[in-house]
Amino acid sequence: MKAPDTVVADIRRRLSDRWHTDLVGGEAAFPHAFPLGRLDADALRDDYAPIHAWTVGMQDWARRTGVVLDYTNRRAKGGTVQAVPAHARVESIDDAARIVGGDWSDRLGRARMRLAILREGYPQMIDIGRTLRLIDTYAAVDFGLLLTVADWYLQDPARAALGVTPRQVPLPGVHAKWLQSHKAGVQALTGLADLSLLPEHSSRIHFTYLDPDHRAAGGRVHDSATVGDSFVPAYQPEVVIISENKDTAIHFLPLAGGISVEGVGKGGKTVASFPWIRDAPVVVYWGDIDRDGYEILDGYRADFDRDVDSILMDPETYEAYEQFGTDLDKNTKAITAGAPRPGTNLHADERAVYLRVLDAQRTGHRRVEQERIPLGRALEAVQLVCKQSVSGVYEGLTP
């Protein structure tokens, strides 16, 4: 037997999934009867009191919300027949919005106004329901810009062949980055399958050569490479250190055969696209001790398709440097607890700290930034990984 909160969750789910098709006259989301769960026949025969109490509670809830209860007759103890709620019926999408609460009534009102505008001005739209859902989160300003840009293209369809980047489209009053993130909306309103915009520039990485002999010979220290470009580094690295933060990558200490790479956020597809990094004998990731640090490490292991080593992200390091940690992000907002990502590629010691910084009952700071750990300690950790991972290549190295 479902409680009212569970039924409200069912209503919310159906509303979220189908509101747009309902508004445009496609597949109707409401009226709909939501099942209230199966009643246990033994419970009915043995003790009807709890079911009676549940029935009364559902009736009170139905009166408050305007839900219509549909009943079924069931045989209870002693052979008596009792009318028991079987379904909660919601008659309309507006009733559903009122029951669910939040901003749903406002969202539907806004969607109806936009739907009227779209139907009148853009009859060429193929899937108006999908478009309505797409623009649901557009602020009023963005919706106005959407109409401006769509009209600009429709006035002269040849403009779709300008061959410019999204930031270069010559539209007065439309800021450079707007089209870049709203292209799908423009295509939906105009019916243009392709706006013929030039692709985004390829991703780049920035890195630092750490080899002391290379530096002593006057070789460049800092370099960059673009995905898809023909590029060979000054030397093939024996060890690559990927650092979450720029400062630790740029200032990493000299290391024979080493290159330090500045991280590019979550996931490692960009960095892994360079064979001289992906196939280096040793690849090490060093990140902050916090949610992002461990989830980025998880992404690198997935994208590299190899067991990328980590340094200084273990319980011992957390215990040693937690005193220098913080519970505030870069915007001075509190770093909150949260649910861990399931099925990660983290090792047991890494996952132990990951769970600790996410735990609502945790003791200790939720973030220890890697900059708070001395670079000499990081160099020692990398050298230890090298000795353990590549037999003979780094034997005899000293900090």
b/e per residue 87-119 (b: at least 16 CB within 10 A): bbebeebebbbebbeeebeeebebbeebbeebe
In this predicted structure, what is the pLDDT of residue 79? 65
List C-alpha distances in Å: 243 to 59, 199, 263, 266. 60, 28, 5, 12
In this predicted structure, what is the pLDDT of residue 398? 39
In this predicted structure, what is the pLDDT of residue 399? 37
- Residue 84, both tokens: 């028991």
Question: Tens of pLDDT along 109-162?
Answer: 999 999 999 999 998 888 999 999 999 999 999 999 999 989 988 888 777 666
Q: At residue 106, does pLDDT exceed 70?
A: yes
Band (pLDDT 50/70/90 cuts) for residue 42 is low
Sheet holding 32-35, edge to edge: 32-35, 81-90, 68-75
Question: Tens of pLDDT along 235-279?
Answer: 999 999 999 999 999 999 999 999 999 998 777 899 999 999 999
Question: Tens of pLDDT along 234-247?
Answer: 999 999 999 999 99
In this predicted structure, what is the pLDDT of residue 395? 44
Beta strands in the chain (DSSP E): 32-35, 68-75, 81-90, 204-209, 222-226, 239-243, 258-262, 282-286, 309-310
b/e per residue 12-42 (b: at least 16 CB within 10 A): bebbeebbbbbbbeeeebbebebebeebeee
Question: Tens of pLDDT along 53-96?
Answer: 889 999 999 999 999 999 988 776 666 777 888 999 999 999 99
Please tell me the pTM assigned to this model: 0.59
The identity of residue 317, as a single letter, is T
Question: Tens of pLDDT along 329-387?
Answer: 888 889 999 899 887 799 999 999 999 999 998 888 999 999 999 999 999 999 999 98
Residue 31's φ and ψ, nearest 5 degrees, are -70, 155
